[in-house]
Structure formats: structure tokens, C-alpha cells
Amino acid sequence: MRAWAGVLVFLLSRPAVLPAQEPRAQAPPQLRVTTTVERVNVDLAVADAHGAPVAGLARGQFHVFDNGVEQPITDFSAVEDPVRLLLLVEISPAVYMLSQEHVLAAYRLLDGLAPGDAVALATYDDRLHGVLGFTTDKSLVAEALGRLQFSLGMARLNLFGGLADAVGILASPAPPAAAGQPAIPPGRVAIVLLSTGLSDVRDPATGEALHERLLTSGVAVYPVALGGALRTPPKKPASKSPSPFATGGPTPAEAAAAFALADHDLKDFAETSGGRACFPRTGKELDADYRQIAATMRHLYSLAFIPPAHDGKIHTLRVEVRDAAGRPMAPREGRNAWQVLARPAYRAPAP
């Protein structure tokens, strides 16, 4: 990890203090699957066809499969532990020109979180920048959101590197709080990624490293795609607002291809980590998506099973939810389709 990662860890270990107004700080900044010698713990959510969390499910409705082989569930409970949530915001010129509507709607996410949930704030352009350490005081986070400074220069976007560094830091054990300060809550960790999904840097090695971290870290990523209107541009260029794709930039066809690739990446981040990607087209949809993310984090289930092998390898992981007759209820086509939000893999204990 880069040399400045230690600075990020230090910030996350401190009580949150709103930073003074100055150029971007150079410090940082669920579905969980963790392994021990005795068991594998799996935190997951079940969503209905509209994305709303499904509560009240019984232990007998869950079935977990390791490398395709069903395993006995040794522990089951509804999860009520606090969550550590990192808001990771892209600060590119394109986002600045989107009128920052995503920042305004993010306040709805803060309103929907539980009082004991801790939130931190970080940004990225060519690298990760810390803004605010973990705090349960949501007003501090809201104020920090309103003070974000966006890059208006030519800084390159490095989505993969920034997200990989954030996941790597958050996957570490919760750092101890400073003496006399409230403890940082342990347990579930998630990232809400506010991003266009665009990235100027697409290094294969970084992409592979990020993929493995998402599979094995226990950090769920919830991407919220910015620029919904740009993904479906109007037939008539009636708007007088400046476009993120100004004269001399990519053509409409090139922009469409770039966003198609961005959407693929955001979906992959969510599926690989056990989160959920949102692609709102309007401010109203954006607000609804934030509320669903907050609700999902409050309605999780925790399962555990004994790992069948201690080989240190990555094992595929699949969780099914079944009805009273034993029929799988997710995934399923139709109006009543359910979706299980759980990572598709975990790393088994070493021999």
C-alpha cells in the first residue's frame, strides 16, 4: 500500500473533527464474510423486486453452499450491530458540473442511518484523499459534504486505485480510538461510492488486486452512479448548462461507450463485494436509492458455517432463500423476485 496509507489509518483512528477550509486534505479517508479457524461468518441482505429489504425470514429458509456443496448452518441471527460506512466521492470536473445534486441527496442517506452507525468521508481523483474520520455525529458529515472542493484541473481519475486503497484500509481491524475518545464501532463495513464510474487509469494489475480485495475483504460496496442524464442524453441540446463533455471532448458515441464500460465496472464492484449498484436518472430516484441503501444496512442476516477445507484458497459462496415448500425464492423471475445480496466468494483458513 502507498506510503500515505498510514496517514489514512491514523485519520480513521481519530475522533472526527471537521477540517478547516483549505485545498483537499492529503490524508483519507455488510455484507461481511470473515473467516476464523472454526467458522465462516456471512452477513447478507435479502431484497424484494423493488429493492426494499425483506425482514422476518427464518433460519430454515437459508441454505449456504461452499464450492457448490451445501454446508450446515451453525449460527443464525438478525444483525443489529452498528455499521462503519465510508462515503467515497468522486471529485472530478465532470461531477462538479453535475451541480452536486448527489451531495445534496446524500443527506437522505445520513438521515436513514441508525444513531450508532459511524460514517467517514473520503474523496478521490487521481488518488484517495481523506476528509473526515469515523463519527456517529451525522451533522459533522453533512457539513463536510457541503464543504467538498472539486477538482477543476486536469487531474486523472483513478477509480480502481482509489477504491482498492479504501477497501484495503477498511478491511483492517478497526483502529483503536484515541485515549478518552469514543470507541470506533467494530463489525460490518461498507462503502457508498458516489461516482460516474469513469476512470482514466485502467491498469490490469490494479484491477486484479481490487477484484481480489472485494472478494475477500468483507467490505460491501454500494455504487451510486452519477450523471444519470448523461447516460441517456436528450435528443435536443436545449440545456444551457455547461456539459462535462465540452467542445473538443469525446463525441456522443464515445461518451456512450465510456458510460457503458463505467456501468459494467460499477455493477461488478457491487456483485463482487455483496453490495448493490444504483443507477438513478433523476433526483427523485437518487433520493429513493439512498433511502434503500440505508434500510438495507439495518436489515441484515448473519449466518455461520464450519469451513469444509483449510486450504487458504478462494472458495465460491452462494446463499439461497427458500419458501416453506423448499423452493428457491432468489433469484427468480417475475413480480415477486427476490435478490440475495452476498459476496460470491471467501478465502478459506490457511492449512
**pLDDT tens-digit series, residues 75-125:** 998 876 778 899 999 888 766 666 556 666 677 788 888 888 889 999 998
Residue range 5-29+81-296, CATH number: 3.40.50.410
Preceding omega of 72 cis (within 30 degrees of 0): no
Closest by CA position to 265, among listed 221, 312, 230? 221
255-303 residue pLDDT tens: 788 889 999 999 999 999 989 898 887 777 877 888 888 888 778 898 9
pLDDT surpasses 70 at 348: yes
30-48: b (≥16 Cβ within 10 Å) or e: bbbbbbeeebbbbbbbbbe
Q: Could you tell me which residues come within 8 angstroms of residue 75 by beta carbon, excluding any fewer than 6 positions away?
A: 39, 41, 302, 303, 304
C-alpha–C-alpha distance, residues 299 and 76, integer Å:
14
- CA 3, distance to chain mean position in Å, is 24
| Extended strands (E) in the chain | 33-35, 40-47, 62-66, 69-71, 75-79, 84-90, 118-124, 128-135, 189-195, 219-225, 300-305, 314-321, 339-341, 345-347
C-alpha–C-alpha distance, residues 142 and 223, integer Å:
19
C-alpha–C-alpha distance, residues 294 and 166, integer Å:
20
Structural domain spans, the chain: 5-29+81-296, 33-78+307-347
Query: Comparing 67-81, 153-167, 235-249, which segment has the lowest mean pLDDT?
Result: 235-249
